[in-house]
Amino acid sequence: MQTEATAMSTDRFTNWRTSTYTGEGNCVEVGHGPGFVGIRDTKDRGGGTLVVEQKSFAAFLARSKSGGFRPKYR
């Protein structure tokens, strides 16, 4: 899967959410924009935002929820 990096102002992202599993602020926030998802550090919101396409983020979440990133031990 190839994606293209896109410069986008973080003020275009809305509804920033933090995981319910967050403990002591060591987490990331996810915000939604037009066709993209912004990901930023909760402790350093001004430090930059990783921007990915919504469909790529949805695929990442689906694989995470299915255990697709767990190491396979023999």
Instruction: Count CB-CB contacts under 10 A for residue 46.
Output: 8
Residue 1 has pLDDT above 70, yes or no: no
> If you average pLDDT over residues 18-26, what whole number do you get?
74
Distance CA 51, CA 57 (A): 10
Read off the DSSP letter of residue 27. Answer: S
Distance CA 34, CA 22 (A): 26
Per-residue model confidence (pLDDT) at position 2: 45
Q: Tell me the three state secondary structure of residue 5.
A: coil
> If you average pLDDT over residues 25-33, what whole number do you get?
86
> If you average pLDDT over residues 65-71, what whole number do you get?
85
Residue 10 has pLDDT above 70, yes or no: no
Residue ranges per structural domain of the chain: 26-65
10-14, 35-39, 62-66: range with lowest mean pLDDT:
10-14
41: left (phi over 0), alpha (psi -120 to 50) or beta: beta
